[in-house]
Amino acid sequence: MRRDVGFLATGVLPHLALVPVWAWAWTFADRTGQWIPALLVAAPLVVLGAPLLTAAQRARHRVLLGVDVAPTAPTAADRTSWAAAARRLPGRLSAAQTWRRVGYHLLLGPLLAAAESLVLTAAAAGLAGATSYGWAWAVPAQARQSRLGYAAQLPCYTLGGLLLLGALPWLAGAAARGESRAAAALLGPGRSERLRRLQQRVDHLAESRTGLIEAVDAERRRIERDLHDGTQQRLVSLAVNLGLVLATTPDLPDGARAAVAEAHLEAKQAIAELNDLVRGLHPAVLEDRGLDAALSGLAARLPLPVRLRVELDARVPPGVESVAYFVVSEALANVIKHAGATRTEVTVRQVGALLRVNVTDDGLGGADPSAGTGLGGLAKRVGAVDGAFHVSSPVGGPTTVTAELPCAR
């Protein structure tokens, strides 16, 4: 309450700041009949005073009420130079926000000042009434008896004062809220300005999200390249050398031969595992030949039959290809791990500006995207490119995973 009252108290003077200006102009014009000089003096004062008062009000709202009245036009550009500011002056004068501001200070200001004074008066009156017994003691006993009607009136004053003080938090709060709402509406950005800013923010977010997705994609490619050029080749080389030992030294002691053969086998298994892992990151053939080729390679390494249909007239953007590949690869990995299926079907087709990816299996069903399987990650990856992701998996099957990815160029 104290905060609200303090806030209201500091509002009276700035709200009345322009009253002398227009009061003077009014009386001057009324007395002399010369409206033009009156306007010539008053108008610049109002136009120059409005931004200052706006800044003062904004600071007052922020410091005393903790409310941020959003600034209007981008202020950074305003400060570039006086010449630029002057060039923008006509535009600013005709802008709706300028008039909303002037209206706030010129017309609403005195009304707000009146409301503030009312609340402050109520506070003072309430305080005076509530403490009326104290005041009464200061008055000579005779006056107290005859004027104040000691017995009858003082209890009424006290009660009235207490009631006023009780209502004060509500009154002050309502007044402060009303005032900050008016300030936000008239000093803050207008509807079109807010929409424009929101749009800017959406654009910016979309841009930074695209950037992030591309960065992640580039990172996957880099890791794939590094592993391919480094670790994989070393492992293959190791396996080849072990194979050479086995093939060229027939007189190895039995124990040594067994150890080398074991190492040879291990190396080959490590290569196979690493291949699966690396290919899941971003296969080179995807970049090179597109989805159909990459997906058929993917299907090749699955231990169950995959019926694959890719109906595309042309390549889709690389980002979409990458997500589509990821969806199929993860969905098929899930099928292998959890579904107990005997066959799966993958279709990829372009429907208008959408790439529709469908993975169906004849497994157990009951897959739950929220249960922490790979499906949740898939939904996020699809969502990141504004795609739609859907899983239908009744208990008993079949499970169908669908992703629709926007792919307009």
Partner 1 sequence: MRAVIAEDSVLLRVGLVKVLEMGGFQVVAEAGDATALLAAVERHRPELALVDVRMPPSFTDEGVRAALEIRRSRPGTAVVLLSQYVEERYAADLLSADTSGVGYLLKQRVADVTEFVETVRRVAGGGTALDPQVVAQLLLRRSNDPLERLTPRERDVLALMAEGHSNTGIAESLTISESAVAKHINNIFAKLDLPVADTGHRRVLAVLRFLGTSRS
Residues lying near partner 1 in the complex (CB under 8 A): 225, 228-229, 232-234, 236-237, 239-244, 246-248, 264, 267-268, 271-272, 275, 278-279, 283-285, 287-289, 292-293, 296-297, 299-302, 305-310
Residue ranges of alpha helices (H) inside 282-317 are 284-289, 291-300
Min dist. Cβ of residue 284 to partner 1 (A)? 5
In 3D space, the residue among 319, 315, 313, 327 whose CA is nearest the CA of residue 291 turns out to be 315
Complex with partner 1: residue 214 or 287, whichever CB lies closer: 287
Whether the CB-CB separation of 213 and 317 falls below 8 Å is answered with no
Complex with partner 1: residue 136 or 236, whichever CB lies closer: 236
R_g of the chain computed on alpha carbons: 39
Whether the CB-CB separation of 298 and 332 falls below 8 Å is answered with yes
Min dist. Cβ of residue 401 to partner 1 (A)? 20
- What is the residue whose two structure tokens read 């469908």? 358
325's tokens: 């590949």
Min dist. Cβ of residue 62 to partner 1 (A)? 57
Min dist. Cβ of residue 199 to partner 1 (A)? 40
Burial 227-244 (b: 16+ CB within 10 A, else e): bbeeebeebbebbeebee
- Cα distance between residue 379 and residue 384, in whole Å: 9
- What is the residue whose two structure tokens read 């509406």? 185
Complex with partner 1: residue 229 or 368, whichever CB lies closer: 229
- Cα distance between residue 114 and residue 136, in whole Å: 30
Complex with partner 1: residue 310 or 367, whichever CB lies closer: 310
For residue 315, give the DSSP letter.
P
Min dist. Cβ of residue 247 to partner 1 (A)? 4
Min dist. Cβ of residue 239 to partner 1 (A)? 4
In 3D space, the residue among 229, 325, 214 whose CA is nearest the CA of residue 280 turns out to be 325
84's tokens: 């630029």
Min dist. Cβ of residue 271 to partner 1 (A)? 5
Complex with partner 1: residue 348 or 403, whichever CB lies closer: 348
Complex with partner 1: residue 256 or 277, whichever CB lies closer: 277
- Cα distance between residue 214 and residue 408, in whole Å: 17
- Cα distance between residue 105 and residue 50, in whole Å: 7
- Cα distance between residue 236 and residue 130, in whole Å: 94
Complex with partner 1: residue 30 or 273, whichever CB lies closer: 273
Q: Reduced to 3 states, what is the DSSP secondary structure of residue 173?
A: helix
- Cα distance between residue 137 and residue 78, in whole Å: 61
- What is the residue whose two structure tokens read 């080398």? 260
Min dist. Cβ of residue 263 to partner 1 (A)? 11
For residue 390, give the DSSP letter.
E
- Give 402's strand partners: 358, 390
Q: Which helix (H) or strand (E) holds 177?
A: helix 150-187
Complex with partner 1: residue 228 or 257, whichever CB lies closer: 228
Min dist. Cβ of residue 256 to partner 1 (A)? 17
Q: ∠ CA 42-54-39 to the nearest 5 degrees?
A: 10
Complex with partner 1: residue 290 or 387, whichever CB lies closer: 290
Min dist. Cβ of residue 221 to partner 1 (A)? 10
Complex with partner 1: residue 76 or 300, whichever CB lies closer: 300
